Structure 1
Amino acid sequence: MSSQYNVVVEKNRKILVSITEAIVFCGKQKIAMRGHEGDKGNFQALLSFQAKQDPILKEHLEHGDPRSMYLSPDIQNELISICGKQIADSIVPKCNSAPCFGFMADEATDASTMEQMAMCLRYFDGADLREDFLGFAECESTTGETLANAFLANLELAGVDVNKMRGQGYDGAANMSGIRRGVQARIQQRIPGAVYTHCKAHCLNLAIIHASKEMYARNMVAPVQQIAFAFNYTAKRFLRFQENLDNDEVARVEMDKRTNLQSLCETRWEARLDALHTFLCSFR
């Protein structure tokens, strides 16, 4: 009986390893796990592909007990949480062993209208300067006090030594950067050495937004977008563009293997550089 029990345990472990590997693969490749129909998602398709080379997994998928298949969305979410906890547990000791660290965070509303906080740690591990994503956390509101308390509580819950914080970086929203009631001010009350720095990417985005309000920039951006739409959303024009691009070696090299005009990003203004560069290279 003991021998049979050990065989069952070993079999279940191999099945869970295969399932976890499929989840990790989807995560690394940024592939959505579930499709529009429950049994036709990427996760199920990947497991079916693995089963071709894994007889234990194949037998489990075809003849396993429906009560213990380990494939439900709840089990998937639980395994994802466990993997995230393992990653966070490997990051925290390296951060705590550094002389100091910087904390970066932001909050946004997800598809289910919940406020999600994204937290990152910046530290030197003795060889490289690292920026590691620690995880997401939910918060009840977006006030400076609530966010500051939630940030510190989640850092301490993860095991981070918050007293080593010597820097904090957020965007310029009032609830984050306010000098009296913002997150940075409230965290500095607790940790005086945590100096606030306005996110440089956010500063660049704001600078480009203000620059784009100038007459010449504003008058140039609209035609670029209209021309990109004109070529990309009409098959005949797009084909004509491709033919001319094939006949222009210089433009093709300058466009760096791009084959069409890029439309302008509506929110990330710095991302418009790629669209403007492509337009300039093909403007002949």
Structure 2
Amino acid sequence: VLMDKRAQNEIKENRARLRPIIETIIFCGKQNIALRGHRDDGNKIEENGIFSANDGNFRALLQYRIQSSDEVLRQHMEKCNKNASYISKTIQNQIISIIGELILKQIIEEVKQAHFYTVLLDETTDISNVEQASLCIRYILNEQIHEKFLMFIPVSDRSGACLANLIINTVLVLGLDLSFCVGQGYDGCSAMSGYIKGCQAVIREKYPHILYVH
């Protein structure tokens, strides 16, 4: 029992240490603030709990919290081991990934409550010259229209059949019922809008109730 209590206290303390770090990452995401500067791996802190250099927005905001009397964060940064500060770019990316998964899960739950939805997709080439499909979803919940981004999906084949299968498989993997999908919206390129081999035509052949809107 004593060991269990000790373990529970340790878990509680570790969560308290992580909270300001996670809150800062969420704040940056909400405000569209890039986390990193030209460096993100400088010295941890000076003796007073303040970072020794301006190593990006994320560290600057943590420094601001410390200066604003966040004692939990200050004590964590002063006492933690160099490899257990939880502010490295690797940890930042892991936290962002976990937050993304939680947001996606919440969106899917909302869509299930709404029942009916429309899928939206557009493509663009990223800086690495990789074709990326941006998948979004539109639904009405509590008399409010919601349009949410779901994910980017790398595309290797831009044919209508491949894009249609990409959408169908992704929606099914997300746990959504395609019988409640009432619409599909894309741009007017032939791969998407073609009435014989276009993405919308392939989807309508399998699911005639999913109407296409340009």
**TM range, smaller chain:** 0.7 to 0.9
CA contact (8 A) 1:26 1:33 kept: yes
Residue in structure 1 matched with residue 52 of structure 2 by the alignment: none
Following the alignment from structure 1 to structure 2, what is the Cα–Cα distance between the partners of residues 147 and 5?
Answer: 49
CA drift at 1:177: 1.3
1:86 aligns with 2:88: no
List per-residue Cα deviations over 1:74-130 (Å, max 9, x = no partner): 221221121111112112122123342111111212123232222211111132122
Residue in structure 2 matched with residue 12 of structure 1 by the alignment: 14
CA contact (8 A) 1:84 1:135 kept: no
Q: Decide which moves more: 168-177 or 142-151.
A: 142-151
CA drift at 1:65: 1.5
Residue in structure 1 matched with residue 35 of structure 2 by the alignment: 33
Residue in structure 2 matched with residue 148 of structure 1 by the alignment: 164
Amino acid at match of 2:11: V
DSSP 3-state at the match of 1:147: helix
Matches within 5 A, 1:239-258: none
Residue in structure 2 matched with residue 47 of structure 1 by the alignment: 62
Following the alignment from structure 2 to structure 1, what is the Cα–Cα distance between the partners of residues 13 and 155?
Answer: 40
Following the alignment from structure 2 to structure 1, what is the Cα–Cα distance between the partners of residues 33 and 155?
Answer: 27
**Structure showing greater relative contact order (alpha-carbon pairs closer than 8 Å, 6 or more residues apart):** 2
CA drift at 1:163: 2.0
1:194 aligns with 2:196: no
Following the alignment from structure 1 to structure 2, what is the Cα–Cα distance between the partners of residues 61 and 113?
Answer: 40
Superposed CA RMSD in Å reads 1.8
List per-residue Cα deviations over 1:211-263 (Å, max 9, x = no partner): xxxxxxxxxxxxxxxxxxxxxxxxxxxxxxxxxxxxxxxxxxxxxxxxxxxxx
Amino acid at match of 2:15: R
Percent identity between the two aligned chains? 37
Following the alignment from structure 1 to structure 2, what is the Cα–Cα distance between the partners of residues 15 and 143?
Answer: 49
More strand by share: 2
Q: Count residues with an aligned counterpart.
A: 198
DSSP 3-state at the match of 2:128: coil
CA contact (8 A) 1:119 1:135 kept: yes
CA drift at 1:162: 1.9
DSSP 3-state at the match of 1:30: coil
Following the alignment from structure 2 to structure 1, what is the Cα–Cα distance between the partners of residues 115 and 16?
Answer: 41
Residue in structure 2 matched with residue 178 of structure 1 by the alignment: 194
Structure 2: tracts of 5 or more residues without a match: 43-54
Following the alignment from structure 1 to structure 2, what is the Cα–Cα distance between the partners of residues 125 and 190?
Answer: 27
Structure 1: tracts of 5 or more residues without a match: 199-284
Following the alignment from structure 1 to structure 2, what is the Cα–Cα distance between the partners of residues 19 and 184?
Answer: 44
Change (3 A) 1:37 1:166: same
List per-residue Cα deviations over 1:115-147 (Å, max 9, x = no partner): 222221111113212212222222333222222
Following the alignment from structure 2 to structure 1, what is the Cα–Cα distance between the partners of residues 192 and 143?
Answer: 31
Larger Rg: 1
Following the alignment from structure 1 to structure 2, what is the Cα–Cα distance between the partners of residues 70 and 144?
Answer: 44
Alignment partner of 1:134 out of 140, 143, 150? 150
Alignment partner of 1:76 out of 69, 92, 98? 92
CA contact (8 A) 1:16 1:70 kept: yes
Alignment partner of 2:135 out of 119, 124, 148? 119
Following the alignment from structure 1 to structure 2, what is the Cα–Cα distance between the partners of residues 159 and 119?
Answer: 15
TM (norm. structure 1) is 0.65
List per-residue Cα deviations over 1:148-174 (Å, max 9, x = no partner): 222222222222222211111111122
CA contact (8 A) 1:11 1:56 kept: no
